[in-house]
Structure 1
Amino acid sequence: MRIIGMDIHRVFAEAVVLEDGEVKRLGRIGMTRDHLESFARTLLPTDHVVVEATSNATAVTEIIAPHVERVVVANPLQVHLIAKAKIKTDAIDARVLAKLYAAGFLPEVWIPDAATLARRRQVTRRTQLVRQRVRLKSIVQSILHANLIAQCPHADLFGGKGRSWLRAQYLPDDEQEAVDRHVEEYDRLSEALKGVERDIARAALTDPNVTRLMTIPGVDMVVAVGLMAAIGRIDRFDRPDKLVAYIGLNPSVHQSGVGPAYHGRITKRGRSNARHLLVEAAWQTVRSPGPLHAFYERIRGKRGNHIAAVAVARKLAVIMWHLLTKGEDYGLVRPSLHAKKIRDLELRAGHPPRRGQKGGTYNYNIPQRRRDERNQALQAEGVYRRMTTGWRRTGPDSKPTDATNEERL
C-alpha cells in the first residue's frame, strides 16, 4: 500500500509518496481541477491519500476520492510535528503527514456528506449576510455620532419609525448621500437574506431532527439548523461528552503525576459557530421558566452571569444529544410555542399565509393556554429547585455527601 501525503496551499500542493518505508517526492500539483484530475489519474486504486484540513480540502477530496482507496483529512491543530516544527517546508510537512498516517497516529477529521456540506454553506452565507448588515448599521451610527446627533429613540434604526427619524436629521450633503447608500445596501442584503433563509427553511421543514431540536425553549430555526450543520450525523458521538468536546464547551484539564486535576476555562476547540449558537440559545432559554432557568440561577449565584450561560449551553448540548440519539422531543416542550415556531418556519419557507383560519398556532393566541403551559414549566422548575437544595460539590478538598455530584447534572 502506498501513502500519498499532500501539503495543500492556495496555488499548489506539495506531494510525496511513502512506499516500503521510503519517501519519494512527487513534486508540486497546481490547485485547479484540471491539474488535480491529471494527478489523480496517476494514482493507484489501492493508494491512501492524506491531506491537511484547509478551506479547499473538501474540493480536493472530492476530485481524488474516486481514484484511490481512501482519502484522509488530518486535523491541523493536533498535528504538532507540523504546527510546532522548527524546520518547516512543504515537502517536510507532506512527509510528516504520510508517516503519521502509516504509524496510525494521524488525528483525522470527519468528512461530511454532500447534504451536510450544502447545509454548512447555507448557514455560512446567512452568517455573512447578517454580519454585513450589522456592519452597515454600525457605519450609519458612527456617521450620526460624528455629527453630534443623539441616539435614535426607536429600537431599530432601520425599521419604519427609525428611518422616519433618520430622514428628519440634518446631515451634510456628502454624509446624507453616504447614509442613503448604506440604507440602500442594507435593503439589498435584507432581500438576499430572505432568499437564503427561505432555502434553509424549506430544507429544515423536511428534517425531523431540526423540528425536534426546536421543541427546546430558546432554540429557533437558526440555532437548530446551524447545530445540525455542525453535527452532521449524531451517531458519530457515542456519548454526550464527546459532542460537548466537539463543540468546545468542555473544561480544560491540567493534571500531572499524583497531583489533583485542575479544571479551567472551556477549551473553545471545535466548531466555534455551533458554540456561539448554543450560547445565544442559552441566553434565550433561561428567560423561560423551567429546570434550565433554575440551573442558570444556581450557577449564576456562584460564578456569575457569563459562566452560568456557558454552563446552560453545555447543558443544552447534552440534552440535544439525548433528543437526537433517542429520537424524542423535549420533555417540557410547550406545544403552542412549538407550533408557533413551526408556523414561522413555514412562512420563512414561502408557504402562503392562512389569515382567518385556525391553524396550529391558534392556541398560542389564547392567553389562558399560554399561562397553563407556563405554569407547568414553573412546576418543573420548582421540582428541580427542591431536588438541588443543599447540593454540594464533592472532591478531594470537600467532605463527601450523599448528594449527587454537581458535575453530573
Structure 2
Amino acid sequence: MNKHNILFIGLDTHKEFSQVALLEDGRGVKAVNYGKIKSTKQSFIKLARTLQSKYPSATLHFVYEAGPCGYWVYRLLTSLGHCCYVVAPSLIPKKPGERIKTDKRDALKLAKLLKDEELTAIYVPEPDDEAIRDLSRARDRAMNDLKDAKYQLKALFLRNHIQCKVNDNWSNQHLRWLTELVLPHPSQQIVLTEYIGTITERLKRLQRLDNELHNQIKNWRFYPVVKAIQAMRGIRIVAATGIIVELGDLRRFDHPRKLMAYLGLVPSEHTSSDKRKLGSITKAGNIRARRLLVECAHSYKHKPNVSTELKKRQESISKEVNDIAWQAQLRLCRRYQRLMARGKHRSVVVTAIARELIAYIWAISREVAVAPVKPELRISRVPA
C-alpha cells in the first residue's frame, strides 16, 4: 500500500444517513465513493478508526456542509484528533451547467474542492457559546411572535372600525380597556378573547426568556465583552448579547474591515479595466447580527450626549472603553448628519453608520479580557 500524507474525506450529512467519499493525496488521483453510513456517533467513530487503520501514515481531513444537523459531527471528529472543516453551502463553487445533484456527487465534490483548497471553513462556536446563542434566538423569536399577535388584534380592530382612546398601547390601562371591550357579534368576542389570551401568554413567555438571558450570560465567558460594548450609545444588553453570540470571538479578525466584509456591510463591486462600479451592500454573513447593528445605528441621528441610563452602564467599565465609546459617538453622530445633508437616503446612511459601528465594537473587544474555553467544553465526551 502506498503511503499518503493526507486523506480527504467528503461527507454529505443528513438526519438518518451520511454519504462518504475518499480522495487520496497525490497527482491525478480520482475520488472514490466509500458508501453510506448511519448518522450516529458510533458510525462516525467506526469510520474514523477504519480509515486510520487502512491509511496509517495519512492524516484524515473531513469536510461537510453546514446545515440543520448542527456541529456535533465536527466536535466528535475533532475530539478524536482529526481535522474537520465545516463550509457554508453558499460559498461552494458550482458550475453553471451542473443540473444533477445527488448525495454521492456532493460528497465527491467536497473531497475534490477540499484538496484543491477552494473551500472556506466557517467559524464553529464552542458548545457553551452555541447554548447562549440558542437562548438569545429563542428570545428574538418570542418577540416576533408577540408582535404578530398584536398585529392580528390591531387588524381585527381596523376591520370593525374600533378605535382605542388609550394613548399608551399595551400598558396596564390599555390591557384593562381590552378586557372591558364588547364586540357586537359573539363570534367576534371569542376571537377578541383568544387574541388577548395569546398576547398575555406571549408577554409572560418573553419575560421568562428575558430573565433567563440576563441570568445565564453572567456566567458566560464573553460576558465582559457584552458588558463593555454597552458603553456605546444605542446598545443595551439584549442587542449586545445578540451581536456577540452571533459573531463569537471578534479577536479572530485582525482588521475591522474583514469584520465588515464578514457581515456583508461593504458595497458590492464590479470593476473591469478602468471602470469601477459600486453597488448595494453584499448582505453576506449573519443576518441577525447585521439587523441588530442597523437597529442600533438609528440612535446616532441625535446629537452626542451621555444620558443618565448610559452613564449608569459606563460606571463599571474601564476608562479606555468609555473613551472609545465617546469617540464613536462623536464621529458617528457627525457622519450621520453629514450624509443626511448630502441628500443620502436614510437607509443608506444607517447602513454606513452600522458599518463603522462594528469597527468600534471590534476595538472595544480587544480591550477586554475573555476567559479561555474550559477543556471539558472544548472536547465533547465520546462514547466508548
Normalised to the residue count of structure 1, the TM-score between the two structures is 0.74
- Distance in 1 separating the partners of 2:21 and 2:204: 48
Q: Secondary structure at the match of 2:268?
A: strand
* Candidates 304, 310, 316, aligned match of 2:345: 304
- Cα deviation, 1:62-88, whole Å, max 9, x if unaligned, reads 333333511100121111227973332
- Cα deviation, 1:224-257, whole Å, max 9, x if unaligned, reads 111111221122100001111111111111112x
| Match runs of 1:233-248 below 5 Å | 233-248=249-264
Which residue does 2:299 correspond to in 1? Answer: 284
- 1:254 has 2:243 as partner: no
Equivalent pair of 2:125/2:248 in contact (CA under 8 Å): yes
Which residue does 1:4 correspond to in 2? Answer: 9
- Distance in 1 separating the partners of 2:202 and 2:282: 34
Q: 1:13 to 1:175 in 2, by over 3 A?
A: farther
Deviation at 1:144, TM superposition (A): 1.7
Q: 1:95 to 1:154 in 2, by over 3 A?
A: same
Equivalent pair of 1:205/1:211 in contact (CA under 8 Å): no
Which residue does 1:347 correspond to in 2? Answer: none
Equivalent pair of 1:112/1:232 in contact (CA under 8 Å): yes
Count of matched residue positions in the alignment of Structure 1 and Structure 2: 326
- 1:163 has 2:203 as partner: no
Which residue does 2:360 correspond to in 1? Answer: 319
Equivalent pair of 2:178/2:196 in contact (CA under 8 Å): no
- 1:120 has 2:125 as partner: no
Q: 1:212 to 1:70 in 2, by over 3 A?
A: same
- Cα deviation, 1:152-195, whole Å, max 9, x if unaligned, reads 64332x32121222233332222222332232233333223223
Which residue does 2:202 correspond to in 1? Answer: 189
- Cα deviation, 1:297-318, whole Å, max 9, x if unaligned, reads 1111221211111111111111
- 1:265 has 2:273 as partner: no
Unaligned 5+ segments in structure 1 are 329-409
Q: 1:39 to 1:140 in 2, by over 3 A?
A: farther
- Distance in 2 separating the partners of 1:137 and 1:122: 23
Greater relative contact order structure (CA < 8 Å, 6+ sep) = 2
Q: C-alpha root-mean-square deviation of aligned residues, in Å?
A: 2.3
- 1:28 has 2:36 as partner: yes
- Distance in 2 separating the partners of 1:114 and 1:287: 40
- Distance in 1 separating the partners of 2:121 and 2:238: 28
- Distance in 1 separating the partners of 2:240 and 2:37: 40
Q: Secondary structure at the match of 1:27?
A: strand
Q: 1:174 to 1:34 in 2, by over 3 A?
A: farther
- Distance in 2 separating the partners of 1:146 and 1:152: 17
- Distance in 2 separating the partners of 1:185 and 1:41: 53
* Candidates 189, 193, 199, aligned match of 1:180: 193
Equivalent pair of 2:166/2:173 in contact (CA under 8 Å): no
Which residue does 2:229 correspond to in 1? Answer: 213
| Match runs of 1:40-51 below 5 Å | 40=48, 42-44=50-52, 46-51=59-64
Unaligned 5+ segments in structure 2 are 1-5, 54-58, 305-328, 370-384
Equivalent pair of 1:3/1:18 in contact (CA under 8 Å): yes
Deviation at 1:294, TM superposition (A): 2.1
Which is worse superposed, 272-281 or 5-14?
Answer: 5-14
* Same amino acid, percent of matched pairs: 27
Equivalent pair of 2:251/2:362 in contact (CA under 8 Å): no
Q: 1:13 to 1:308 in 2, by over 3 A?
A: same
Deviation at 1:276, TM superposition (A): 0.4
Equivalent pair of 1:82/1:96 in contact (CA under 8 Å): no
- Distance in 2 separating the partners of 1:142 and 1:50: 49
Equivalent pair of 1:40/1:63 in contact (CA under 8 Å): no
Q: 1:94 to 1:84 in 2, by over 3 A?
A: farther
- Distance in 1 separating the partners of 2:214 and 2:368: 21
Amino acid at match of 2:333: H
Q: 1:84 to 1:274 in 2, by over 3 A?
A: farther
- Distance in 1 separating the partners of 2:51 and 2:203: 47
Q: Secondary structure at the match of 2:206?
A: helix
- Cα deviation, 1:109-140, whole Å, max 9, x if unaligned, reads 11111222112111111111111111111111
Amino acid at match of 1:28: K
Equivalent pair of 1:41/1:67 in contact (CA under 8 Å): no
Equivalent pair of 1:48/1:69 in contact (CA under 8 Å): yes
Equivalent pair of 1:29/1:35 in contact (CA under 8 Å): yes
- Distance in 2 separating the partners of 1:43 and 1:189: 51
* Candidates 19, 22, 37, aligned match of 1:14: 19
- Distance in 1 separating the partners of 2:348 and 2:233: 20
Q: 1:41 to 1:194 in 2, by over 3 A?
A: farther
Deviation at 1:288, TM superposition (A): 4.9
